[in-house]
Structure 1
């Protein structure tokens, strides 16, 4: 079996490597740059493209222009070719000229297109591959690098020999490697699962040990929290189930520690270890909140660090505002961005004032928590307003706006499984649900996923027609958005 496998591999390697070098060795016979948009760096573009090898002698042309989102790039390329480069069109006027590959870009309307002569044409799916190869760079306004990437991918696909096609490679390598990959995958999955199970078990043990060690102290702290306090009474509600949850975590601990090393490689047991770790971590956070609630509301000796821990999430949000606003498409110069910056400056002064008044005894801990809650609620509203600004600035139509808005809303209300958001170990985080406050990290998550979803949707469909002015022209080509 080993000899047969080795022989097949040698044949495949000889076929692929020996023939490929001879096939991929034709630089462009001509390279024309029509940068009407003025966005390309010719000093980098020309030598880079001239160094790209095609399978057959190919004329390469690049065309850029400043259009609009509603434009049909195919129609604009054809209109330009008819007016400025009739040699790009076949003698009968119905196709692109043989031997030609055109890469077109509209940096304003954000379209990219690819067009080929009949002897150079590829499938619609492959044209999309060529366009997609450039889109990440084009989205970052790296126009020259994006153009080079698209042309390079075109060179790999145009007139591609059958033995280098994806279908052949998949079939050939699958026949040889299926059994090997299957066994290797199984081993890797089991090993990875075992490693993850051990990590979750260690995480659970660390939290469980903390909870167990502080169990009596937690009960003492809970016993002196004033039930008359709005915040204290809610924390006490959480405490009433504390012992039941601790007993449940103990059972999970016993089950997880009974697993053999081999059993840890099974997915259901990884879930068991993770449940144990999550349950213990939640208890570990809650007993800290119980201690802070007791210290702050009763103004115990540890009230100052307890108050600092309540401020920590808000301070973190304020510190992250500028970085959030500096991101691309984040509308950092907008009125809503200015409102966020102004709020940050005012809030930093407010925090110092609240802390001083709390230390002097001129306000109660309850009042201090009320002010912190109100400030975080105000930040939530400002972030929602700025989300509307960002959505309006990035999206092109109501469908895109709805898509991005849903991502922003999901980020605020999302579960830990979807967005990685966990229980906030603070008094406010215990009293109010996780979706009550819109944090800067949640905004960033919604912003990133929203931009990604909209960008993917824009690139998801290709336009193949040449518009009303194209007439009966049916040359191979298409365009898509980025």
Structure 2
């Protein structure tokens, strides 16, 4: 028993060192953050604060580079080409390595490549570079480009210049030196700690949504009370409202249950699931009460009708703005006849939006007619995107099997999940009246295109997950530390 107590004491000190000492070791925010988002897929308002808050073991310059390539591209070669042309300071003075103190995270969302590159004083092993890339891939496969980039950089910060006592080799030796029961107990503690952190984050999200809904509850009821039930749109929104109070009461019950949980109970996975259901329920209610307010304001031409109308136009405007970047991607067949039709539609729609808003303002058309026109325009865009999908598939697929594979990926993107009901709720009047899969948005089309091209490329044998370490024929004698892989 004395030996066991000593082992337990040693392991306890190790855990304290790993969980407590790690924070002290990560001491330096990035010396500089450079973003070259040539693919236009990153949200700078989210990316920059997140990366600047990441702590490295040593002052490190973080560079992010994105571009729209192809599945057959060598990302390493492209990153080196870009650095030589646009950022020679990223390269060492002798031109053979990456500059000291530098960490580059590169992404090709179309070719489905991710790469990591480091200066000689920041380099890690090939396996660790793969680890950094793997940390981002689940998010990147889901087209969460910004979040995936942040995840990769965060993992890079954990591995670059990692102290010996945090290295994988040391951890493996330390863990395997202890008895299995102690190891199991330690893992159990870590899992509980992580669950408790997630529970508190979800609880805060749920409380924020619940507070908003509660504060607006009386106003929501007043808004619902004056929505014209005879309206096609108002009637459907009122149907959603009929369950609003019931759902609010359910959320209240969930709130009481989750706030009765003690600190230890927050560490249980079953309770995390309960808290997450509370957060999701309040988020849905918070979105719905905004839609109820907009429906009342627009249909009754209230004092805030113009702002409510703008919010209805926002998803369509976003689609129109995303059209040209999408058509400029590799394999998007931007020079095709169907692409020309989409561009013509975009130009005409811009004029239409101004006309509808003007007619709505002077009473020439009713709010219902304006919503009808918006619905018809978004439906027409959906059909044009489906036509263009046929063009894209015909241009990239070499046979019927590849065509079927691409179409499956694009249809899956539109549906969200295999059952066709998995797309996120759009907090608008049309998004409430019609199911989430009713409209085919441009970002959804773009994601389907990327996944379709990637799937076909993989089927052809070009999509393996192994790392690429060379810099291609144009790299010359360059031998900087770096590699890339597919996702």
TM-score, with length taken from structure 2:
0.57
> Which of 387, 391, 394 is residue 393 of structure 2 equivalent to?
391
Q: Deviations over 1:346-389 (max 9, x none)?
A: 11111011001100110100000000000000110111111112
2:380 equivalent in structure 1: 378
Distance 1:338 1:184, change over 3 A: farther
C-alpha distance 176-339 of structure 1, shift in aligned 2 (>3 A): farther
Q: Aligned residue for 1:195?
A: 197
> Given the superposition, is the C-alpha separation of residues 368 and 434 from structure 1 closer, same or farther in structure 2, using an over 3 Å criterion?
same
2-structure distance, mates of 1:186, 1:392 = 52
2:324 corresponds to? 322
Contact kept? 1:207, 1:277, Cα under 8 Å: yes
| Offset from partner CA, 1:294-349 (integer Å, 9 cap, x none) | 11001111100000000011011111111111222222222222211111111111
- Structure 2 residue 228 is matched with structure 1 residue 226: yes
Root-mean-square deviation (Å): 3.8
Shift of 1:457: 2.4
State which of 191, 202, 210 in structure 1 corresponds to 2:212. Answer: 210
For residue 311 of structure 1, what is the aligned residue in structure 2?
313
Report 1:160-179 matches (<5 A).
Answer: 179=180
Q: Is the 8 A contact 1:411 1:419 kept in 2?
A: no
- Corresponding residue to 1:332 among 327, 331, 334: 334
Q: Is the 8 A contact 2:412 2:418 kept in 1?
A: no
Aligned positions of 1:255-270 closer than 5 A? 255-270=257-272
Distance change >3 Å, CA 173–CA 191, structure 1 → 2: closer
Contact 2:338 2:387 in 1 (8 A): yes
CA shift in 2, pair 1:185/1:453, >3 Å: farther
CA contact (8 A) 1:204 1:276 kept: yes
Out of 390, 407, 420, the residue aligned to residue 405 of structure 1 is 407
Distance across 1 between alignment mates of 2:420 and 2:186: 29
CA drift of 1:275 comes to 0.8
**Deviation readout 1:144-168 (Å, 9 max, x if unpaired):** xxxxxxxxxxxxxxxxxxxxxxxxx
**More off after superposition, 307-316 vs 189-198:** 189-198
The answer to whether the 8 A contact 1:336-1:385 is kept is: yes
Q: Is the 8 A contact 1:419 1:445 kept in 2?
A: no
Structure of larger gyration radius: 1
Question: Using a 3 Å threshold, how does the CA distance of structure 1 residues 172 and 385 change in structure 2: closer, same or farther?
Answer: farther
Call closer, same or farther: CA 1:249–1:176 in 2, change over 3 Å: same
Alpha-carbon distance, 1:204 to partner: 0.9
Query: In the superposition, relative to structure 1, how do residues 377 and 200 fare at CA in structure 2: closer, same or farther (>3 Å)?
Result: same
Partners in 1 of 2:228 and 2:436 — Cα distance?
A: 24
Residues 185-224 of structure 1: per-residue CA shift (max 9 Å, x gap): 4444333222221111111111111111111111111111
Query: Which of these residues, 347, 354, 357, is aligned with residue 356 of structure 2?
Result: 354
Q: What's 1:147 paired with?
A: none
8 Å CA contact 1:222, 1:294 repeated in 2: yes
Given the alignment, which residue of 450, 456, 471 partners 1:448? 450
Q: Is the 8 A contact 1:380 1:437 kept in 2?
A: yes
**Aligned-pair CA distance for 1:262:** 2.2
Matches within 5 A, 1:414-425: 414-415=416-417, 421-425=423-427
Instruction: State the SS of the aligned residue for 1:228.
Output: coil
- The Cα shift of 1:421 comes to 3.6
Check whether the contact 2:457–2:463 (CA below 8 A) recurs between aligned residues: no
- Structure 1: segments with no counterpart, 5+ residues: 7-38, 45-50, 52-135, 137-170, 463-481
Instruction: Map 1:78-157; keep pairs closer than 5 Å.
Output: none
Q: TM-score, normalised by structure 1?
A: 0.58
Unaligned runs of 5+ in 2: 12-73, 81-95, 97-136, 138-171, 465-486
Partner of 1:259, secondary structure, is coil
Match of 1:434 among 433, 436, 439: 436
